[in-house]
Amino acid sequence: MKTAILYQDGRRRIISPFAKDEALDELLTAFVSFEHPEVREFKEAVERFKQDIPKVVTTLPGMILQEGVERCN
């Protein structure tokens, strides 16, 4: 019997006989949907950045103006 073995992150994750449709589907789904931790962390950082942008846009002009006033005094 032929067997498919999925390795991810340096470890064996799923072992599936080719003859078992559901198990093979699980293995293939895990393979296709796998995301490296670094990629996942980057995507999360991008989402946090998107949430922070409105705060930065509203706060930054006031900070720049205040800095200019303090430097002129």
| pLDDT value of residue 43 | 96
Check if the beta carbon of residue 32 is closer than 8 Å to that of residue 49: no
Could you give the percent of the chain with pLDDT greater than 70? 100
pTM (global) more than 0.85: no
| pLDDT value of residue 72 | 86
Which of the residues in the chain have pLDDT under 50?
Answer: none
- Put residue 10 in one of left, alpha, beta given phi > 0 → left and psi -120 to 50 → alpha: left
